């Protein structure tokens, strides 16, 4: 009888183990099932969108990004700034540009092709007075190039391009419409007897060149393209190129040690 009871207890325990095992398997399966469902739900498009929205909270709104892109396109349509400083595709103006009452002609502000004022009489009178005082100091100054028409500048520029290439020509010669000489206010100055130094940097190292730089403002002229300012003016150093702006402005510009672009805050 004892052996019989022992045998029944063994079968009863075995059955309990089987039931317990089945319940455990079912519980694990159910857990896995719900875990898979939750994972799939997390990867639905709606949840992904919510996650991206949360991540982009500190970024610019899409509308602002589009506006910036639009502005960049509009700026590109207005013209592209070249290495030479010109804005390619810039339309010809119908009127000359004046900034604070000063006539401007540079690589960003061209003149109309029909703008033809001739040599400025006030500038010529100022030069003659300066030349007279320079002669008393022992220097005979010559204005060997002043007013140039649009057509003449076009011929001159094309000649330089043919000789030195466009990139080099753009460093020392203005394209037609962009030359200060067309304003009638620019004077290329040299010393009589030293013609071999005209249009050279060496002129600025001569006694006559140094006198000119030191005294030109007293007569209303400024050295228009100083040394080390090519990135601002667009042109290489020209010791011979002087621009008439009037005595008051010339003295202020010289005292500031700035170019005309910098002094007038021309962008």
- Residues labelled catalytic: 238
Q: Which residues contact 247 (CB under 8 A, 6 or more apart)?
A: 217, 218, 219, 220
**Tokens, residue 212:** 């000119």
Give CA–CA dist 229/20, Å, rounded.
91
Q: What is the DSSP letter of 206?
A: S
Q: Which residues contact 157 (CB under 8 A, 6 or more apart)?
A: 169, 173, 174, 175, 176
* 216, 250 Cβ separation under 8 angstroms: yes
Closest C-alpha among 146, 110, 106, 154 to residue 128: 146
**Tokens, residue 186:** 């620019």
Residue 264: burial class (beta carbons within 10 Å; 0-12, 13-18, 19+): middle
């Amino acid at each position: 009888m004892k052996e019989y009871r022992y045998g029944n207890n063994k079968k009863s325990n075995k059955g309990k183990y089987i039931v317990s095992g089945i319940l455990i398997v079912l519980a694990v399966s159910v857990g896995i099932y719900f875990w898979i469902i939750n994972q799939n739900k997390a990867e639905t498009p709606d949840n992904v969108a919510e996650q991206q929205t949360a991540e982009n909270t500190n970024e610019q709104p899409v509308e602002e990004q589009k506006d910036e892109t639009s502005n960049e396109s509009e700026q590109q349509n207005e013209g592209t700034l070249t290495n030479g400083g010109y804005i390619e595709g810039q339309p010809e103006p119908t009127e000359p540009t004046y900034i604070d009452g000063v006539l401007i002609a540079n690589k960003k502000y061209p003149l109309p092709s029909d703008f033809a004022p001739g040599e400025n009489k006030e500038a010529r009178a100022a030069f003659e007075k300066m030349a007279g005082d320079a002669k008393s100091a022992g220097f005979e100054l010559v204005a060997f190039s002043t007013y140039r028409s649009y057509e003449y500048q076009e011929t001159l520029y094309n000649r330089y391009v043919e000789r030195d290439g466009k990139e080099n020509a753009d460093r020392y010669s203005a394209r037609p419409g962009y030359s200060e000489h067309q304003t009638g206010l620019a004077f290329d100055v040299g010393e009589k007897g030293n013609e071999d130094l005209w249009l050279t940097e060496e002129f600025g190292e001569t006694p006559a060149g140094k006198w000119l730089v030191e005294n030109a403002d007293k007569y209303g002229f400024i050295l228009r393209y100083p040394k080390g300012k090519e990135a601002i003016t667009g042109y290489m150093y020209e010791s011979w190129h002087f621009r008439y702006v009037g005595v008051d402005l010339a003295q202020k510009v010289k005292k500031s040690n700035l170019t005309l672009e910098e002094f007038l805050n021309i962008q």
